[in-house]
Amino acid sequence: MNHLVNRTHLFDDLFRDVASGFFVKPVSTEATSKNLKVDILDTGDSYQLHADIAGVEKDNIQVDIDGAVVSLKAELKQPVDRQEDSKVLHSERQFGTVARRFELPAEIDADKSVAEYKDGVLTLTLPKKVPQDTQKRLTIN
C-alpha cells in the first residue's frame, strides 16, 4: 500500500506541474547526473536555475544553451595536496564529470542570459526569447 501512496504523489506532482503550464523535461539520463541537484523557477519573463556544484572552480563549469535546451557540465577534480607517503582510509567525495540537460518550455535568449557562481551554487538567469513577428502585411500596388 505504501508504494501506491508514493506513486500517487508522483502523479499529483506531475499533473500539478503540467496544470501550471511549467514542465521541464530532463534530457540527460547519465548515472552521474543525479549528483548535480537543480531547481528551476519560472519568473514570467525568464527562468532561474540554481545548481549545487560545491567544490568546483568556476573555470571547470560549462553552460550551453541551444534553443530551449540548457546543458550544465562540471568537472570535479581530485585534490593534489595529498602527501606521497599518506594513504586514504575513507573517501566519499566524488571526482570526474557531472552533467545535466533540461528542455525548458520556451526558447532562451542566450545573448541576454547571465551565469553567476557563488558559495558552491551556480545561478543562471535565462530570459525567454521573445517570439519574432513573422507576419507581414503586403502593400497592394
Is 86 within the bounds of a domain? no
Is 103 within the bounds of a domain? yes
Q: What pLDDT, on a 0 to 100 scale, did the predictor assign at position 8?
A: 46
CATH number, domain at 66? 2.60.40.790
Is 51 within the bounds of a domain? yes
Cell numbers for 130: 521573445
Q: What is the mean pLDDT of residues 34-56?
A: 91
Is 6 within the bounds of a domain? no
Is 38 within the bounds of a domain? yes
Is 16 within the bounds of a domain? no
**Any residues with CB less than 8 A from the CB of 35 and at least 6 apart, and which?**
94, 98
Q: What is the CA radius of gyration of the chain?
A: 21
pTM: 0.68
Q: List, for residues 107-119, the tens digit of each pLDDT value.
A: 999 999 999 999 9
Give the structural domain span for 60.
23-79+93-127
Q: Single out the residue of 122, 135, 114, 113 nearest to residue 52, CA to CA.
A: 122
Residues 89-125, buried b or exposed e (16+ Cβ, 10 A)?
eeeeeeeeebbbbbebebbbeeeebeeebeeeebebe
Q: List, for residues 79-112, the tens digit of each pLDDT value.
A: 666 677 788 788 777 778 889 999 999 999 999 9
CB–CB of 124/114 below 8 Å? yes
Structural domains in the chain (count): 1
